[in-house]
Amino acid sequence: MKAKKSLGQNFLKDEKVLANIANLFSSAKNDLILEIGPGMGALTKYLVLKKSPVIAYEIDLRMKEYLDKLNNLEVIYQDFLTSNLNELKKYQYQKLYVVANIPYYITTPIIEHIIKNVIPDKMILLVQKEVAERFSALPNTKDYGYFTVFLNHYFNTHLEFEVPKEAFFPVPKVTSAVIVLDKKTNIISLDEKKFGAFVKMAFRQKRKTLKNNLKEYWFIIEPILKENGFNDKVRAEELSYEMFVSLYQSII
């Protein structure tokens, strides 16, 4: 089948990689697996062997002839970004696992759409390697940014393994990687929209100091930064998620 460039389709064909992705989690009968963009079912055929029911969102109706042959699978032929994930509640699952080979150009919107509606217990995502590095970056590294902190509010994130270009057809121009996001047991309670806006403001001009980016709050947050060993030249990428929470809580 010819991949549609407009949908960012690159089909994963390497059976070893597919099996490794499926083996990254174990689910029980009362859990639910959500797959985004199953394509012809290369990964889906491993997921449906698990004890949990599998729900998949697929935008390309050409895949129907492949996916409808699989058992233990319900396919919703719809653009995932327009989906109402509140409907998943009807399955009364214990844990939710999200698995996806995400088109590179809509990686962030897909993750934001999920988190806005439901916080999965685990997400296993196949994304562009540079994106995986950014999502799992540590403070004081070039890849660390706003979205890293955003994800750290909900998940413990780590890059699991790289996937070479040759594992796909058509062969993409970039290397991919599998990233795993595990839901935190204690997610700090705060206004997530306002916290996100605060962090985004801190990173708005990455080369500038926090004193510049957060000048309207500086007189409040400066003492806290000094208590934690930072001076007025500190930049956003030097601060941990926990430090951002402390600063945010000081201004509300």
- What are the respective helix, strand and coil percentages of the chain, to the nearest 5? 40, 20, 40
Sequence-ordered list of residues with C-beta below 8 angstroms from that of 203, at least 6 positions apart, any chain: 145, 146, 149, 213, 236, 237
> What crossing angle do the helices spanning 241-251 and 218-227 adopt, rounded to 10°?
140
What is the Cα–Cα distance from 122 to 33, expressed in whole angstroms? 10
Task: Say what the pLDDT of residue 4 is.
Answer: 62
Mean pLDDT of 212-224: 95
Q: Give per-residue pLDDT as tens, 156-212.
A: 999 999 999 999 877 878 899 999 999 999 999 999 999 999 999 999 988 899 999
Task: Say what the pLDDT of residue 6 is.
Answer: 58
- Using pLDDT thresholds of 50, 70 and 90, give the confidence band for residue 49: very high
Which domains can be identified in the chain, with CATH numbers?
5-183 (3.40.50.150), 192-251 (1.10.8.100)
